[in-house]
Amino acid sequence: MASAQSQNILLIEDDTEFRNALAAQPRLHEEFDVEEAGTGEAAIADTEKTSFNAILLDIGLPDNTLATGAYDTVLCFNTLHLVTDLPAVLRNVHDTLKPGSMFISKSVCLAERTRLWAIPIALMRLVGKAPYVNMLTFETVEHAIADVGFGIIETGIYPAPYSRFVAARKI
């Protein structure tokens, strides 16, 4: 149970094993209290009885309860290079946000400096030791974000040389 000074986090993820793994880290620190929900419906019930300092949401929940225009900000760090359908994921993010809301991402862009990363990644995938990796460039990330209806406010390279930071607003 949370103490008076705890930070309440709601973790919404339908994959039980992944949800448990995500919840384990903050639970190692006494200043965090983590509530878990496996569906959007359960998450809504949790928010009706508890106030949360942060909500971590799987925007691809099967019940789609939380999808449309509900959020002020979506943070997406070190994820976009791992999705097979980048435009579909970004459209989902766009639909999830209220008008004028923010999308903030940091994406690994391995094709920016060298495509040589593709060879060891492909070999590791063959033996089941690496996930799918989209060889993105800075330009690819920015165009993909803009193409679904975001106005890019700021970009940067953090950390150099392979990660692109993008702050964008839903227009």
pLDDT digits (tens, 9 = 90+) for 15-74: 888 888 888 888 999 899 999 999 888 888 888 898 888 888 776 677 766 657 777 888
Instruction: Confirm whether pTM is higher than 0.75.
Output: no
Q: Is CATH 3.40.50.2300 what the domain over 1-64 is classified as, yes or no?
A: yes
| Residue tagged 């946000």 (tokens) | 97
Q: How far is CA 95 from CA 11, 17, 42, 64, in A?
A: 20, 27, 21, 11
> In the structure encoding, which two tokens stand for residue 125, read together?
């995938």
Alpha helices in the chain (DSSP H): 16-27, 40-49, 86-96, 118-126, 138-147
pLDDT at residue 123 in the model? 94
Where are the chain's structural domains? 1-64, 68-171
Is the pLDDT at 141 greater than 60? The verdict is: yes
pLDDT digits (tens, 9 = 90+) for 110-129: 888 777 888 899 999 999 88
pLDDT at residue 116 in the model? 81
* Span 68-171 CATH architecture: 3-Layer(aba) Sandwich (3.40)
As a whole number of Å, the CA-based R_g of the chain is 18
pLDDT at residue 167 in the model? 97
